[in-house]
Copies of this chain bind each other. A is one copy, B any other.
Amino acid sequence: MTGFVARLRAAWDEQDSLACVGLDPLIERLPAHIAAHASPIFHFNKAIIDATADLVCAYKPQFAHYAACEAEDQLERTIEYIHRAYPGIPVILDAKRGDVGSTAERYAIEAFERYGADAVTVNPYLGGDSLEPFLRFEDKGVLVVCRTSNPGARDLQDLDVGGRKLFAVVAELAATRWNSRGNCLLVVGATYPQELAQIRAITGDMPFLLPGVGAQGADIGAAVAAGQSADGRGLIVSSSRAVIHASSGVDFAAAARAATLLLRDEINAARTRGHAA
């Protein structure tokens, strides 16, 4: 199997899109006619996926939204459905795992074998050996949280470590040590273009997952301009609530498509391409 980054690049090009839809459904906001299903989250996701699959480079289900309501089976079905119906679109399980060696192995088994995700988000606080059990899955992607978009990110990530901020150290560790198999990526909040540019300068063409567009109010143009790699790719720009809960009526899937289309086009307009667009 080709590696995650190669599959991601193929999806970027084939779909002409850097947009990603975050599948983080809030069970209390499901449309009434969907909530009546035996597996409401899965049916909701399936409709969203079918309405947006030609517009995205990836899907990103967020683990807690399933675990909080005992819906692991619906998470499994969602990922399995994407693989079966749209095999060219990778699935990133957003779970931000982080634990020591033997436990990290169990988390890697959970993400890659149980759920069959193509990639998973992880937390760097426990260091390189806590990431290694994930990175060892060479054809899978491991997205290390680097700089997040919440106000509290400053508490640790912005601390000065010998003239650099902690998040820059994480970016450098990712680029120089954790990416020896070419399957390490970073998670960088979309709300801070300056930090994005700094992390891009450290990491070459390493792909970044950019959450925080849509509900979290980032300026997409500024984020793409600052974060893209030299070839106008390099980003997975993810929107969740602004897409999947764009409408709570029977037209929710069409509304999700419209929101994804806008997102894709806004991203593409900001990309600096090597060829005429």
A-side residues, CB < 8 A to B, are 24, 62, 64-65, 67-70, 72, 96-101, 103-104, 106-107, 109-110, 113-114, 123-131, 145, 148-157, 159-162, 166, 169-170, 173
Contact = CB atoms under 8 A, between A and B. Distances in A.
A125 B157 contact: yes
Contacts of A24: 103
A65 B102 CA distance: 10
Interface-centre pick from A125, A131, A154 (highest chain B CB count, 10 A): A125
Contact of A129 (B64, B131, B150): B150
B106 A68 contact: yes
11 contacts: A64-B97, A68-B113, A72-B72, A98-B98, A125-B145, A125-B156, A125-B157, A127-B151, A127-B156, A156-B169, A159-B161
B103 A62 contact: yes
A110 B148 contact: no
B64 A110 contact: yes
A188 to B, nearest CB: 13
